[in-house]
Structure 1
Amino acid sequence: MSAPPSGPAPAAAGTRRRPSRRLIRTVTVGLCCLAVLAAAVVVGVRALGQEPTVTLLANWTGDDERNLRAAVIEPFERDHHIHVDYQGSSAESQVLGADVEAGTPPDVVVLTGPGELAAYAGQNQLEPLDDLIPRDAFGSSWATPLNGHVYWFPLKADLKSIVWYPAGTSERQRAQAAGRPGQWCVGLGSGATSGWPGTDWIEDILLQQYGPGIYQQWARGELPWQSPKVKGAWTTWGRMVGAGGKADLVRRALKTPYQKASEPVTARPRGCTLEHQASFIRNQDAWKRADGRYEPSARLIPGATASDAWEVSGDLVALLHDTPQARELIRHLASASVQRAWSARESGFSVDTRARPAPGDAGSAWHRSLAATLLDTRAAHCFDASDAMPPAVRDAFAEATIEFLAHPDHLPALLKSLDTLSTTRDLTWLPTVCDHGT
């Protein structure tokens, strides 16, 4: 307990003697020795391996990190007596690359890009997980086999082929808004990864217009960027959001961070009505206040012909340093209880077949509905194409969406450049990104 601001209260005169300086010095030295001894014991316990540690790198900070700690890390530490040294960074790809280059990678990493993980697997940086995760718990679009092994699995997932709108917006109003570029809430800003919301648009348009087969050919590097189908997806997006049009509209889209794109929904008068964004955006304050509802994007994308095809994304767990405690953490993350915990907190979704929500489960109606769609075995689920592409192609794709939005006449040159990059030797392309329809 801290002393009062004025210092220790003096004893009342004549009631007790002030302790001698010698006694004070003796007590102080004794306390310091005890503190040093306690610290030495902690260090010694760790050095002797009696308090093992596993390092974990992911991109979750803020509320997402708090959910991770409450739903995943704390139960693991309590049950297994293993300390988790967690590092959350919005620039985790750069952090991981630097750590791998320095020879000090984390034990376990959670990344959104299977294409990036495939590149690490090709460099023999990842350990196979075949004996650590349950068989058939995750579909092939989530735990994609590579060279006969599984190197990653989803800790949580999100649905992307959806459009959000405020409660009370009629079907007719939504259809009218979809034809007006200014009614789309668009924000391409995301720091070092700016542009990815634009890639989501183009990917989903291609999927809805031509189905999983064409989508997968493109995501595997087999369909050229300059093909009429891929080019058509770009131009459709451009017309929908007004690429190269009104300067204020384009400027708003380019400068707005994706997390704030929906803020005009709650303005008076309303600044935009529709947002093409993944399920995680429903937790933003604007959509909470607007009681956000969703519908399949196929209903609003011109020329959509696909039936029950969904673009999806996920946070994927991989093992870089094979230690007993790291293997325990992998088993824990792949367990049905942890997979269910994400859905229970509505901080994401599980696509583990063992974590299927039971009838009558508590939770928001929109969350239960999205969870059911992600686990629907009749639907086609195609992983985010840019996340599945080699990192160099993914990054160039994101940058190209920014330039296209401002200068749509640059599209032929952009697509040609992406084709040139995609045919570079030694790139690792995934063999599959969709679980059906191919």
Structure 2
Amino acid sequence: MSAPGSGPATAAPGLRRPSRHLVRVVTVVASCLAVLAAAVVVGVRALGQEPTVTLLANWTGEDATHFRDAVIAPFERKYHIRVDYQGSSAESQVLSADVEAGTPPDVVVLTGPGELADYAERKQLFPVEDLVPQGAFGTSWATPLKGHVYWFPLKADVKSIVWYPRDTTDQELKAAGARPDQWCLGMGSGATSGWPGTDWIEDILLQQSGWRTYQRWARGLLPWQSKEVERAWQTWRRLVGAGTDPDLVARALKTEYQDASKPVTQRPPQCTLEHQASFVRSYQPWKDVRGRYTHSAELIPGATAKDTWEVSGDLVALLHNTPQAEQLIRHLASAEAQQAWTAKEAGFSVDTRAQPASDSNGSWHSTLADTLLDTGAVHCFDASDAMPPSVRDAFAQAAIDFLADPHQLDELLAQLDSLSSNEELNWLPSVCDRGP
């Protein structure tokens, strides 16, 4: 699962499902947000002064500012179409409420292809293959469904990486990887708390068992109770000290994902390694220690996969096929908009037309950009993001519960298998690109 833009949160251990009170609160808040957004949209369009397109995404704070300045403002100036942007760290809940109320945005940017596939199955999305340059994106990024493409990536990140301070030696890196207290981990992320744990488990499975096993699991074809999946959970347990170090576990459960790396800058450092996506390198602690990265397989026990990477993306989809919405889709798929993310090292594009000039110094950003475009590598989309929303959410909660009490793993995996067996769920046909 990928990170939302921002927002305070704390992962709560031991909760199998939200309380009824919490569900009611979230529902009311989401409904209020939907009504407010609908009122704003109607009011703006009623003015009749200029065409308007509504856009929902998860970027808030600095990310939203960068998105507006680098991507949206040029579009508005060029086409004289106003973009009514709403950024929310709980965009899945907001979108669900908007759709339920009959007031969805024209365009949405989501991290989950599994969620988008569900909307496509319910006829809520319009195909975009005629609006996107042919061949610009691989099938793990723009997955065909029943002969149509319903989304494409605006921004991409690499996830199979571990960050560490620049002055760390290879010997120190290996030694730190075997010590649970050296791993920086924060599980909090508002409505999506738990996803840093799912990222860990997914990547461990990918590196230990290979992309074919990973893809079967991400498509609902490999049981959660299989020996491969259980092994991944147990490996994560040992790496981060679950069940053996209550203080470490408590710190992880109480820490927001965006704050997990702060102990890196303390003297002495309270942790020195972070298994986190490429976007975290732009966070101040990793800037301060001039963070470098290594492939996660170097530190995952039992890893056998070669040049295999978990990736994630912010995916654009069309809910209203108005002329202005279609024009925004074309713009977001353009090389100019795609490159706007890479210019400020805020993310990457997987469009070969949108790459910056080569960096002879081999910076972290240029090498990760090359990794995403390497046709000889295997790229697998974040498994939980590719799963049906109900399974994704249950997986995130199970990661929290397991971290708090690893002894309940058998029960948690059985529950996930029971949920995944629902024949009405929509699973993606593919999540991995194999290269040539």
TM-score (norm 2): 0.88
User: 1:190-215, CA deviations, whole angstroms, 9 ceiling, x for partnerless residues?
Assistant: 11111000000000000001111010
Gaps of 5+ in 2: 1-41
Partner Cα distance (2:108, 2:265) in 1: 37
Partner Cα distance (2:68, 2:362) in 1: 22
Aligned-partner SS, 2:153: strand
Q: What pairs with 1:2-401 in structure 2 (closer than 5 Å)?
A: 47=46, 49-360=48-359, 365-401=363-399
CA contact 1:199–1:398 (8 Å) conserved in 2? yes
Counterpart of 1:60, as a letter, is W
Cα distance, 1:47 vs structure 2: 4.7
Cα distance, 1:364 vs structure 2: 8.2
Partner Cα distance (1:272, 1:87) in 2: 36
Partner Cα distance (1:97, 1:45) in 2: 22
Cα distance, 1:437 vs structure 2: 7.2
CA contact 1:206–1:229 (8 Å) conserved in 2? yes
CA contact 1:56–1:106 (8 Å) conserved in 2? yes
Cα distance, 1:172 vs structure 2: 0.6
Partner Cα distance (1:258, 1:45) in 2: 36
Aligned-partner SS, 2:123: coil
CA contact 1:213–1:437 (8 Å) conserved in 2? no
Counterpart of 1:260, as a letter, is D
Counterpart of 2:157, as a letter, is D
Cα distance, 1:183 vs structure 2: 0.5
CA contact 2:53–2:82 (8 Å) conserved in 1? yes
Query: Closer, same or farther in 2 for the Cα pair 1:101/1:137, shift >3 Å?
Result: same
Aligned-partner SS, 1:157: strand
Gaps of 5+ in 1: 1-42
CA contact 1:209–1:303 (8 Å) conserved in 2? yes
Partner Cα distance (1:105, 1:126) in 2: 11
Partner Cα distance (1:44, 1:309) in 2: 49
Partner Cα distance (1:227, 1:44) in 2: 54
Cα distance, 1:246 vs structure 2: 1.7
CA contact 1:243–1:407 (8 Å) conserved in 2? yes
Partner Cα distance (2:98, 2:141) in 1: 26
Match 2:421 to one of 420, 423, 426: 423
Cα distance, 1:49 vs structure 2: 4.6
CA contact 2:264–2:272 (8 Å) conserved in 1? yes
Partner Cα distance (1:262, 1:146) in 2: 39
CA contact 1:212–1:437 (8 Å) conserved in 2? no
Aligned-partner SS, 1:142: coil
Partner Cα distance (2:152, 2:43) in 1: 36
Partner Cα distance (2:397, 2:188) in 1: 11
Aligned-partner SS, 1:158: strand
Partner Cα distance (1:70, 1:55) in 2: 17
Partner Cα distance (1:45, 1:182) in 2: 53
Partner Cα distance (2:49, 2:130) in 1: 26
User: 1:62-100, CA deviations, whole angstroms, 9 ceiling, x for partnerless residues?
Assistant: 110011011110000000000000000011000000000
Query: Closer, same or farther in 2 for the Cα pair 1:371/1:44, shift >3 Å?
Result: closer
Partner Cα distance (1:364, 1:436) in 2: 25
User: 1:32-60, CA deviations, whole angstroms, 9 ceiling, x for partnerless residues?
Assistant: xxxxxxxxxxx999658551000000000
Cα distance, 1:425 vs structure 2: 2.1
Cα distance, 1:135 vs structure 2: 0.9
Cα distance, 1:162 vs structure 2: 0.2
CA contact 2:359–2:366 (8 Å) conserved in 1? no
Q: What pairs with 1:394-413 in structure 2 (closer than 5 Å)?
A: 394-413=392-411
Partner Cα distance (1:247, 1:210) in 2: 29
Partner Cα distance (1:359, 1:172) in 2: 31
CA contact 2:155–2:314 (8 Å) conserved in 1? yes
Partner Cα distance (1:45, 1:292) in 2: 45
CA contact 2:158–2:368 (8 Å) conserved in 1? yes
Partner Cα distance (2:161, 2:43) in 1: 53
Partner Cα distance (1:276, 1:93) in 2: 25
Cα distance, 1:353 vs structure 2: 2.0
CA contact 2:358–2:366 (8 Å) conserved in 1? no
Partner Cα distance (1:374, 1:327) in 2: 27
Cα distance, 1:244 vs structure 2: 1.4
Cα distance, 1:357 vs structure 2: 3.2
CA contact 2:279–2:347 (8 Å) conserved in 1? yes
Partner Cα distance (1:247, 1:130) in 2: 50
- Aligned match of 1:21: none
CA contact 1:208–1:306 (8 Å) conserved in 2? yes
Aligned-partner SS, 1:318: strand
Partner Cα distance (2:171, 2:248) in 1: 24
CA contact 1:313–1:384 (8 Å) conserved in 2? yes
Could you say what the CA RMSD is over the residues aligned between the two structures, in angstroms? Answer: 1.7
Partner Cα distance (1:97, 1:78) in 2: 31
CA contact 1:58–1:109 (8 Å) conserved in 2? yes
- Aligned match of 1:39: none
Aligned-partner SS, 1:138: coil
Partner Cα distance (2:205, 2:340) in 1: 33
Query: Closer, same or farther in 2 for the Cα pair 1:53/1:408, shift >3 Å?
Result: same
Counterpart of 1:259, as a letter, is Q
- Aligned match of 1:8: none
Cα distance, 1:359 vs structure 2: 2.5
Cα distance, 1:356 vs structure 2: 3.0
Cα distance, 1:409 vs structure 2: 0.6
How many pairs are equivalent? 395
